[in-house]
Amino acid sequence: MIPRITIAQAGAHVGESVQIAGWLYNLRRSGKIAFPILRDGYGLMQCVAVKSALPEALFETIRNLTQESSIIVTGKIRADERAPGGFEMDVENLEVVQRVPESDPYPITPKDHGIEFLLEHRHLAIRGLRAHAILGIRHEVIKAVRDYFDSHGFTLVDTPIFTPAACEGTTTLFEVNYYEDNKAYLTQSGQLYNEATAMAFGKVYCFGPTFRAELSKTRRHLREFWMVEPEMAYATLEDVKRVAEEMLVFIVGRVLENRREELKRLERDVTRLEAIQAPFDRMTYDEAIEILHQKGSPIQWGDDFGGTDETLLTQDRQRPIMVDRFPASFKAFYFEPAADRPDVVLGVDVLAPEGYGEIVGGGQRIHDLDLLLQRIEQHKLPKEAFQWYIDLRKYGSVPHGGFGMGIERAVAWICGIEHIRETIAFPRTLYRWAP
Ligand code: 4AD
Ligand code: MG
């Protein structure tokens, strides 16, 4: 029996005949020899098919293979320093599972395609080396996030997608017809439910898709994105900052440990990632405004940061910055005000360096019943829909807090890529919700 292996396992089979199932990535050939490059999802393998060593019909089949045809190759693994993965395979047999016809060839050729074309063909473009590297790093980031929380006393309690009310403001809600004439909204954040489950478990996190009817077309905005959100009972803003910092250092460390190949393929400057160590720089919103004024920004106290402000704040820094104590005026209803200054709230944003901007947002929540009722009224939110949330302030209310990290923003920063649409297999942006 010839063993079936993946390209990643080739090193353990040097000198043996093995079988690898995959797709034809590329083909170079001459009259007497052909070099099909095999792709199997784990790597690339250059195969060598020599005419004199193979039955004539088989050699002709190999010579005439088309890009992305599915094939199963049998052959002997040979170590070769010059080969891309360090190994080559001498072809002994090759089975064509499906041949892509010349009349309708694979649309993504090795030449450069425009981004619009690649997004339209995203279902195929994800087979490319660049997408493979980015999505592999995404997997690593998600695994690291889960490992971090699982090993620090957090329980995963996932929160609903259909919700009766807004968490992050009503302007970006997606409305759905839930039942007869009853409306529901796609969740913007699991936070409010996390606040309930934290009172049951102490420390929790949820991790799932979130939805925002964003009208912005920036490189940082998707309409559907994945967010991990921890929440902790008996916690303050300082606890939230410490956990966010520790988690980010852990994630970057894991990617450096396990995804060097992918980072290299993306030409990521890894010294920028190696510099991500605690402590991050900390500043208040007031201090950030002062720095922005020195750098010539027209921002006024009371304005939220724009993308340019975030870039100005982070561009000359090695480590992320944690900005806290924001004006209450532009923050969500649930933030706890500072005890010494009621016009600012105990929120924190973590801004990634190199101009990537906000990757984490969170803070301490209001735990006082009367203050919460007041805020719900000021923000003109429907009190009935929030009754269950208000209950949490009646039955054993405690100081608590947490944050949310958008996975795509974190991955874009770690990969050092321009636009977050490449960090998710099938991005949803303002004008694109297919394929
Ligand atoms: O700052 P945001 O809006 O905070 C919340 O939703 C809180 N309820 C989280 C919490 O405290 N549990 O969003 C949190 C993060 C942002 O820092 C950003 O990384 C990401 O979610 N994010 C987006 N990512 C991609 N596209 C968008 N449109 C995003 N909006 C927010
Ligand atoms: Mg935010």
**Tokens 């302030």, located at residue:** 393
Q: How far apart are CA 182 and CA 162, in angstroms?
A: 12
Q: Where are the alpha helices (DSSP H) in 202-266?
A: 237-258, 260-265
For CATH 3.30.930.10, list the domain ranges present in the chain: 123-423
Whole-number pLDDT of residue 170: 86
Q: How far apart are CA 209 and CA 186, in angstroms?
A: 10
Cα of 59 from ligand 2 centre, angstroms: 59
Q: State the DSSP H helix or E strand holding residue 97, giving kind and residue range, or none if neither.
A: strand 87-98
Our answer on whether the CB atom of 48 is closer than 6 Å to any ligand 1 atom is no
Q: Which atom of ligand 1 is nearest to the CA of 410?
A: 19
Cα of 67 from ligand 1 centre, angstroms: 40
131 has a pLDDT exceeding 90: yes
Q: State the DSSP H helix or E strand holding residue 24, giving kind and residue range, or none if neither.
A: strand 17-29
Class of domain 123-423 (CATH, top level): alpha beta
CA distances for 217 relative to 221, 307, 358, angstroms: 7, 12, 16
Whole-number pLDDT of residue 304: 95
Ligand index nearest the alpha carbon of residue 405: 1
CA distances for 191 relative to 76, 155, 230, 238, 403, angstroms: 54, 14, 8, 18, 8
Our answer on whether the CB atom of 227 is closer than 6 Å to any ligand 1 atom is yes
CB 222 within 8 A of CB 206: no
Cα of 315 from ligand 2 centre, angstroms: 19
Q: Given ligand 1 and candidates 168, 172, 227, 229, which is best to mutate, with the most ligand atoms within 8 Å of its CB?
A: 227
Ligand index nearest the alpha carbon of residue 168: 1
The pLDDT mean for the chain works out to: 96
CB 160 within 8 A of CB 278: no
Our answer on whether the CB atom of 229 is closer than 6 Å to any ligand 1 atom is yes
CA distances for 193 relative to 269, 291, 296, 407, 434, angstroms: 39, 36, 41, 20, 30
Cα of 360 from ligand 1 centre, angstroms: 7
Q: At what angle do helices 129-150 and 237-258 cross, to 10 degrees?
A: 130
Nearest to 283 by CA among 351, 331, 329, 229: 351
- Enter the DSSP assignment of 35: E
Our answer on whether the CB atom of 357 is closer than 6 Å to any ligand 1 atom is no
Q: Which atom of ligand 1 is nearest to the CA of 222?
A: 26
Our answer on whether the CB atom of 400 is closer than 6 Å to any ligand 1 atom is no
Our answer on whether the CB atom of 230 is closer than 6 Å to any ligand 1 atom is no
Ligand index nearest the alpha carbon of residue 211: 1
11 has a pLDDT exceeding 90: yes
The predicted model scores a pTM of 0.97
Tens of pLDDT, residue by residue over 61-78, are 999 999 999 999 999 999
Our answer on whether the CB atom of 240 is closer than 6 Å to any ligand 1 atom is no
The residue whose CA is least distant from atom 20 of ligand 1 is 406
3-state per-residue secondary structure call for 127-187:
CCHHHHHHHHHHHHHHHHHHHHHHCCCCEECCCCCEECCCCCCHHHCCEEEEECCEEEEEC
89 has a pLDDT exceeding 90: yes
184 has a pLDDT exceeding 90: yes
Ligand index nearest the alpha carbon of residue 169: 1
Cα of 313 from ligand 2 centre, angstroms: 16
Torsion of CA 230, 236, 238, 242, to 10 degrees: -30
Tens of pLDDT, residue by residue over 205-234, are 999 999 999 898 899 999 999 999 999 999
Q: How confident is the model at residue 111 (pLDDT cuts 50, 70, 90)?
A: confident
Our answer on whether the CB atom of 409 is closer than 6 Å to any ligand 1 atom is yes
Our answer on whether the CB atom of 187 is closer than 6 Å to any ligand 1 atom is no
Ligand index nearest the alpha carbon of residue 221: 1
Whole-number pLDDT of residue 85: 85
Q: Which atom of ligand 1 is nearest to the CA of 227?
A: 21
For CATH 2.40.50.140, list the domain ranges present in the chain: 7-98
Q: Which residues 6+ apart lie within 8 Å of 209 measured at CB? A: 161, 224, 225, 226, 227
Q: At 239, is the secondary structure helix, strand, or coil?
A: helix
Q: Which residues 6+ apart lie within 8 Å of 241 measured at CB? A: 282, 322, 324, 348
Cα of 358 from ligand 2 centre, angstroms: 7
Q: At 310, is the secondary structure helix, strand, or coil?
A: helix
**CATH 2.40.50.140 given to domain 7-98:** yes
Our answer on whether the CB atom of 225 is closer than 6 Å to any ligand 1 atom is yes
Whole-number pLDDT of residue 216: 86
